[in-house]
Amino acid sequence: MKYLLIIFLLILISPIVAQNLTFKLDTSTAFYFTEYNDYEWDEPLTGLHINTELYNLSGRFGLGVSGFYSFSSADDNFDFIQLYDGYIHYFTALINEKKYFIHGFYGGVRYAMIDYTPYKTDNLLEENFLRPLVGFKFANELWGFDLTWSQAQDHKPILGYEIKFRSSSNWIMKIGRRNRGFISDVDSDVFFNLGYEFYG
């Protein structure tokens, strides 16, 4: 009972001690793999991923943007992928010295630009499309979890998750998977990011 009382008091005190987090920015090198017939782990798309979020702009509401730009492809089917997300979020976002805590929901849109060659053909196709995006995020200074829902080119639902790990020196690693690719014939995709995070 004594320990429960201590935990309860800490929960009550923490919002008083902590201050509002204002921003978080991470940039990373990203490796993107598609299950197009099968995964080819030695043939990734390599690119730059950036995610920026502004917190507590009006109450708990804020804004977020992220983007992935592939600058190199070893994939035989995909020449080029760009993904851009823009969203409004409702997060609890607090900071206390070098620690931070974020959780809440967000919603917005995802814009995709993809150049690819369908399996067993030589026809290079270009696809540009805009789809809805909703998600839930939990993160602190050690790790984080992001769950998303969006739609593919053919409007079929895409469920995805991302797990983030962060070192004490602000280096981050992200691992994620989606149950369907952005193009209808892609069964799933996986990504792996290494980068750095800023916040304040």
**Torsion over CA: 47, 87, 190, 127 (sign):** negative
Tokens at residue 117, please?
């060659």
State the pLDDT at residue 32.
Answer: 93
Question: Tens of pLDDT along 20-75?
Answer: 889 999 999 999 998 887 788 888 999 999 999 999 999 999 999 999 999 988 88
**How far apart are the C-alpha atoms of 156 and 69, rounded to whole Å?**
23
Q: How far apart are the first and last CA of the chain?
A: 36
Question: Tens of pLDDT along 134-190?
Answer: 999 999 999 999 999 999 999 999 999 999 999 989 999 999 999 998 888 888 999
Phi, psi of 5 (to 5 degrees): -65, -40
Structural domains of the chain, with CATH: 20-199 (2.40.160.20)
DSSP helix/strand/coil, 11: helix
Among 138, 136, 84, 91, smallest CA distance to 109 is for 84
Element counts in the chain: helices (H) and strands (E): 1, 11
Residue corresponding to tokens 């909703």: 134
Range with the poorest average pLDDT among 6-15, 49-58, 114-123: 6-15
- Long-range Cβ contact pairs of 4-9 (< 8 A, separation 24 or more): none
Q: What is the pTM of this model?
A: 0.86
State the pLDDT at residue 7.
Answer: 44
Question: Tens of pLDDT along 95-118?
Answer: 887 789 899 999 999 999 999 887
**How far apart are the C-alpha atoms of 110 and 130, rounded to whole Å?**
6
State the pLDDT at residue 65.
Answer: 97
State the pLDDT at residue 132.
Answer: 98
Quick one: DSSP state of residue 42? Answer: T
State the pLDDT at residue 195.
Answer: 97
HEC-encoded secondary structure of 139-187: EECCEEEEEEEEECCCCCEEEEEEEEEECCCCEEEEEEEECCCCCCCCC
H helices of the chain, where?
2-17
**pLDDT over threshold 80, residue 93:** yes
